[in-house]
Amino acid sequence: MEIITVCGMGFGTSLMLKMTVDDILNEEGVKAEVNALDVGSAKGGTADLIMASADLESSLESVDVRKVFIKNLTDKKEVRDKLLNELEDMKG
C-alpha cells in the first residue's frame, strides 16, 4: 500500500503529516509506504491513498485516488481516526 501526504510545496506540512502517519501505522502494525509530495506531483502520481490538509481539497479534486483531508494537522487523534477509518473502508 502506498500513502501520499501532500502540501503545497512538498516539504513542510506534508513531512509533518508523513511522520504522524508513519507513527500511527507503526503503532497499529500496518505496513505501508508513505511519501511526502507537493500538490503537482501528487496529481501525476499513483497511490492507494492521499492525505492532505483540508485547504487542499479543491486542488486535489481531479485526482482519482481515495483522499482524506485533515482540518488540524497537529491533532494526532483526528489524523488517526480518519486514517484508520479509511483503511478499514479500503478493506471492504
Closest listed residue to residue 56, CA positions, set 44, 39, 77: 39
Q: Which of 3, 4, 6, 7 is catalytic?
A: 7
Cell numbers describing residue 78 = 483526528
Is the CB of residue 55 less than 8 Å from the CB of residue 25?
no
Provide the Cα torsion 37, 64, 2, 30; round to 10°. 120
14 carries an active-site annotation: no
Residues assigned a catalytic role = 7
